[in-house]
Structure 1
Amino acid sequence: MRFGTLEFTPALDSPELLAPPTATALAAAPDGAAGDVLVAAIDPGLADTAAFCEHHEISLADGANCVVVQARRGERTWYAALLVRGSDRADVNGVVRRYLDARRLSFASMDDAVALTGMEYGGITPVGLPADWPLLLDEPVAAHERLIVGSGIRGSKLLVTGRFLAGLPNAEVLALALGAGV
């Protein structure tokens, strides 16, 4: 399937284009849900959303960023992931902080995000995240027919449906975005 300038093929046929946690999650997906998940190899130097979208003629609204946040309340620290379109910004200090019932919320450090997910920074995807993490999807992401997300590595991207993302473990659909932004 062609999307932008990229040709996508079934992700399960190309495990070398997936981070190990992503490949494991897709292989274990119930009822063939992963059958519609597609993958395409990309230049790792173009993994960041804006550069990727411009180079491959894909709208920022057709891509979604997976962001790892660290939440704290008292002595407790935990992590969650957010998924918003590339054209939007998540209301991290408002909606997300309140939803997670955190006193403090910050973006996870690169080292923590990589170590905890088993994925490459700049390629982190909601597919294959740690089982105990909340996954918060912005409503437009969940409603999207087809959009681009990371694959767990910088050298490829996944093409998925919003319905597939909304069906991932611990996924919650919320109004997360502040609106257009980067």
Structure 2
Amino acid sequence: MKEAEAGAASTTAVWPVDLSRMRPETAAEWVAARYGNGTMPIRPERIARRMGVEVYAMTAEDRSAVFLGPNGRPWIVVDVTARDDHQRFAIAHGLGHILLRHDRPHLETPASFGADAPDHRDRAANQFAASLLVPTAQLRWCVTSGWMRNVDQILKTLWVPEDLLLLRYRQMRAGR
């Protein structure tokens, strides 16, 4: 982990496609279309690996973070003791930092993942993560297809916590 800490002082790797001028929601939908496989649930760890981002699960003391690894490739580190849905969100959040070109993101705290995160970069990375894990088109299909009869079925299909699903549903209804 010491190598990863040294990478934290470096600038985050610059992704070859500049998504920083896009709204986080639009960037996430672009990434899902380009690097996802079209199935549900979206698997952010697979998308990260397809993009050349290394994903590591470490202990809680290491905390979730984005680093520039010693090999020059970005690393996303998540807490191995966190629930699966939290790990998935942390990976998607880390991808948001990388793809939105957030320079030197800090070590994450629990507040980093909240809707009212104090750092504007975390708020953008959170919106990216929410949009990546619950893309509007898939959510619209889940709600309107008639195949899914209730919230529990949608939650099991998308592998997300209920509060994230409800946030994305409200955003979809508002046209975002």
TM range (shorter): under 0.3
Structure number with the higher strand fraction is 1
Structure number with the higher helix fraction is 2
TM-score where L is the length of structure 1: 0.25
TM-score where L is the length of structure 2: 0.26
